[in-house]
Amino acid sequence: MKVLSLLAAASAASAHTIFVQLEAGGTTYPVSYGIRTPSYDGPITDVTSDDLACNGGPNPTTPSDKIITVNAGSTVKAIWRHTLTSGADDVMDASHKGPTLAYLKKVDDALTDTGIGGGWFKIQEDGYNNGQWGTSTVITNGGFQYIDIPACIPSGQYLLRAEMIALHAASSTAGAQLYMECAQINIVGGTGGTALPSTTYSIPGIYKATDPGLLVNIYSMSPSSTYTIPGPAKFTCSANGGGGGGGGSTTTAKPATSTTSKAVITSTGSTTLKTSVVAPQPTGGCTAAQWAQCGGVGFSGCTTCASPYTCKKQNDYYSQCS
């Protein structure tokens, strides 16, 4: 019975995802500290919706009264988890492949600005490199999305929008699943004076449903295939005429470690690491949770959905419980 319980738990792990924590300046802040997190981990699929800015709508978010101090030119880590209580071994289903991105918007008050509208600029992107997707890199990193904060931007309050896009069902329009949350940060030590990037963008407005990076059959791609990351070009200090390093990161990849650890966060923000072993995906006698993959060409996991959900085909390569 204990073995069956462990198998059932493994089958329910990782479907959608939430940006739950930020690590900055050597401190890993508690879950939902300075981030407008939802209790539900669902995606946004309508790229014209105001919910594309900082989530909401079908995934209502909870306001935070905290602002996190971030040094210009530093690297922060957006920490992703399947739910608000998941660990580092439960980030997102591995089938949810796609790019990762991050944007900044300078605001007067990070606590109250909705994020909707203009002022956004992209500072990080990681698409498809030699068969490896940006989301896969985040999962391998234990949920860490590495984001370099440009050194040349003005100090002040910003919204940091971290995003993961899942393309497993993106062969049809509006099939891409976009996951994003906004962290409320105060950037200090910027060398940009009062000058913002020369070009900024509106959310919604950065994506179209027919963008090649959002309407794509990832199952027909080979390791040498070219993928176009959606959205505007990534901001760099050199292109903006600014000085110094920290011009925004290109990928989320960092040196991999040889062990798998689970971060345990206390209410004070301290972190301990607990080594864990991830159970293999069972191939029978199990059920898949809501939104988990349950079928498709080459799929060998659970094909029966937990009640009351049924396995629905999205395309030849992907079916999910819904």
**Taking 50 as the threshold, does the pLDDT of residue 200 lie above it?**
yes
Which residue do the tokens 């991830």 mark?
Answer: 278
Q: What is the secondary structure of 115-174 as a DSSP string?
A: --EEEEEEEEEE-EETTEEHHHHHHHTTSEEEEEPPSSSPPEEEEEEEEEEE-TTTTSTT
Predicted pLDDT of residue 134:
98
**Taking 50 as the threshold, does the pLDDT of residue 259 lie above it?**
no
Whether 180 and 102 have beta carbons less than 8 Å apart is answered as no
Can you tell me the distance from the alpha carbon of 63 to that of 112, in angstroms, rounded to the nearest whole number? 9
Residues 6+ away with beta carbon under 8 Å from 32: 20, 21, 62, 64, 84
pTM of the model: 0.76
Burial of 173 (0-12, 13-18, 19+ CB in 10 A): exposed
Out of 182-196, 240-254, 305-319, which region has the weakest mean confidence (pLDDT)? 240-254
**pLDDT tens digit sequence for 209-243:** 999 999 999 999 999 999 999 999 999 998 665 44
Whether 296 and 317 have beta carbons less than 8 Å apart is answered as yes
**Taking 50 as the threshold, does the pLDDT of residue 280 lie above it?**
no
Out of 241-250, 291-300, 310-319, which region has the weakest mean confidence (pLDDT)? 241-250
Whether 49 and 114 have beta carbons less than 8 Å apart is answered as no
Q: 274: which DSSP letter? A: E
**Any idea what the Cα angle at residue 126 is, between residues 297 and 73, rounded to 5°?**
160
**pLDDT tens digit sequence for 92-114:** 999 999 999 999 999 999 999 99
Out of 181-185, 281-285, 289-293, 308-312, which region has the weakest mean confidence (pLDDT)? 281-285
